[in-house]
A and B are shown apart, each in its own frame.
Chain A
Amino acid sequence: MSPIASDEKATDSMTSDNRFPSPFDIEAPEGAQGWEQLYNWYHLFGEDRREQDEQRFWFQDRLHHPEVLHPYDEIQCECWWQALGAFNTRVFAMPPAFGVDQRVLNGYLYVTPVPAPPEDLAARAELFGRRAGYYYENWDSIYAEWKTKVLACLDRITKISFEPLPDIEPESVVFERTGQSSGYRMIRDFSDLVQTMYETYQYHFELLNVGYAAYLTFFQFVRERFPDISDQTISRMVGGLRVDLYRPDDELKRLAREAEQLGIGDVLLEGTDPASVFAALDATDEGRQWRTDWDKTKDPWFLINTDPGHPGASHVHPTWIDEPAIPLATVKEYVRRLRAGEQIDRDTAGVLAERDRISGEYRELLDPADRTAFDQIVELARTVFAYIEEHVLYIEHWMWATFWAKSKDLSRALTAMGALDDPEDMFFLRRTEVAETLYDVVAAWSVGGTPRGANYWRPIVEQRRGIYEKLRAQPPVLAMGPPPAEINEPFTVMLWGITTASVSEWLAQRRTTDQGEKVTVLRGVAGSPGVAEGPARVVRTVGELLTVQAGDILVCPATSPSWSTVFGQVAATVSDVGGIMSHTAIVCREYGLPAVVGAGNAVATIRDGQRIRVDGDTGVVTILD
Chain B
Amino acid sequence: MASTMTPISPQEQEALKASIFQRLHPRIYLERFLSENIRPDGRDFDVWRDVFVNVGSITTADGSALVRLGNTTIVCGVKAEIAEPELDRALEGFLVPNLDLPAICSPKFKPGPPTEEAQVLSDRLNEVLLASGMLPLSSLCIHPGKAAWVLYVDATCINYDGNAFDATLIAMVAALKNTQLPKATFDQESGTTTCSRKTKMPLEITRTPVSMSFGIFDSTHILSDPTAFEEPLLDTTLSVVLDSDGQLISLSQLGLGSSGAQNSLQSCMTAAKKRRGELAQYI
- A and B: partners? no
